Chains A and B, each alone.
Chain A
Amino acid sequence: MEVPRRKKKRLYLVLLVIITLFVGLQFFNQPIIGKPVTGTIEAPREVTAILERSCYSCHSNEQQLSWFEQVAPVSWLVKKDVDRAREVMNFSEWGALSPAEHQGKMYAILNMVQAGKMPLPAYTLLHPAAKISEDDIAVIKAYTLSLSKDEANKTAVTLVEQPEVIPDRLPDTLPISANGVKYTDAFKDWKVISMSTLFDHSIRVIYGNDIAVKAVEEEKFHPWPDGSVVVKAVWEQVEGADGEIRAGKFINAQFMEKNAEKYKDTEGWGFAKFSGQKLIPTGKTALFAQQSCIACHRQLAASTGYLFDVPLKINRKGLIQKNN
């Protein structure tokens, strides 16, 4: 059967329009901004090889993009990912990090790849070579844990008599984080939902208000009820003569406050960090929470609704019976 000429002509016309549009799109194709490499990550070669292969396309200033990633509209999506990825972690701007920050980032990397959250699954679909194997994870893990051992040997044991007290604040001098989370002393009277330590030699206590405690007990994590507030207070560890660890210098108090409407940009959780005796809030603009909190806490979105330190589900019901 023959296609009538008029129909054929229309087909060409449509094709022409599509091609013109496609070419036109390229004029709106903003390239990923080239940035200088100011200091690459320093780690054993077998570690950096993995990062270069699987992570550099997004987390560095040395993108090697395939042609189809440089063509709009795919390039738009790629640019969005790269901009975002470089914002949270950039292997080409590593020089500014202290050894402690380097260690912290390595733990973040280890946990991300262990959880299978990085590289982004959509990316490995198109770049199968970037997939992370069990062996890769083992290499990253061995290196990351070795950093802790180096550090453990370095840190001197400080002996302090008193833990550093978190100052009480007058109601009209309460610091407020750029995203609107307000500091409160009230957590000092809340229940302790858990206690933790981290590789950085800190000792932590996690408090929850009544709404949060109820949510934990009833496992209302999806979503946590509005009004839930969880506060984590962080101190340096000090070791007593018997080797027991207690709180020393106060480092910071970190807040997570649930309000689905108010904190839409960070998936309903308002993050805040208040540091030192002056309780100085982290972040000049509200963007800090997107740049330095949510990406890591999102790993837990499906399991506990964004929280790392909910009490483990390992105590039996009716463990403590009050028989008043």
Chain B
Amino acid sequence: MLLGGMLLSNCVDKQKNDSYTRVVFDPGALKFFASSVNKKQETMAALYGNDKAYQTLSKGDSISAAGTILRLVTWRYHDNPQYTGGTINGELLSVESVYVNEAGKASYELEASALQSETNEVADKQERIKYIMSYKPVF
């Protein structure tokens, strides 16, 4: 697998302030494509992908380019503590990926999740693939 596994570790002492940090997500070789805000769930998401994924999303046809990798990173958002009237992303909640194989078949993987830490099972993988593929690149 390209990225190996990713884990959300839960074992750090919550009390110690210095165990908290300002996280910038590292997408590796992938590029930022698009973002979204979900007010009901109070989440924001950023979608990253490779060149093949760019072809897949910008063309928007039903055939996905083989080798497509898409990665959706979802965060909880908050009122911006530095400015009343704004919101900003906060806790990292999940990292989900879609891979398209040589045969053009898409598979789904939940790389990391704070939401479903018990079982790493997602109810409907096909739904998630469809959702992740629904984004259009902003560049």
Contacts and interface: CB of A to CB of B under 8 A. Distances in A.
Is B truly associated with A?
yes
Interface in A101-139: 107, 110-111, 114
Interface string B103-117: 000000000100000
A1 B80 CA distance: 70
B39 A245 contact: yes
Contacts of B91: 314-315
A204 B80 CA distance: 13
A239 to B, nearest CB: 9
Given A110-B85, A317-B20, A247 B92 contact: no
B9 A318 contact: yes
Interface in B31-77: 31-32, 34-40, 44, 46, 75, 77
A161 B9 CA distance: 38
Contact of A244 (B5, B8, B20, B36): B36
Nearest to A218: B22
Contacts, number: 170
A245 B4 contact: no
A162 B57 CA distance: 11
B22 A114 contact: no
A309 B88 contact: yes
A43 interface: no
Interface residues of B, number: 51
Contact of A195 (B3, B9, B21, B75): B75
Contacts of A216: 22, 24
Contacts of A192: 24-25, 32, 35, 46
Given A166-B139, A198-B85, A324-B3, A244 B37 contact: yes
A191 B24 contact: yes
A311 B23 contact: yes
Contact of A198 (B7, B77, B86): B86
A195 B88 CA distance: 6
B23 A245 contact: no
B88 A194 contact: yes
B38 A310 contact: no
Contacts of A317: 12, 19-21
B136 interface: yes
B89 A320 contact: no
A129 B24 CA distance: 45
B22 A310 contact: yes
Interface of B: 3-9, 12, 19-27, 31-32, 34-40, 44, 46, 75, 77-78, 80-92, 95, 112, 135-139
Given A111-B85, A191-B27, 11 more contacts: A164-B138, A188-B32, A195-B75, A197-B37, A203-B37, A205-B46, A245-B39, A313-B21, A315-B23, A316-B19, A320-B92
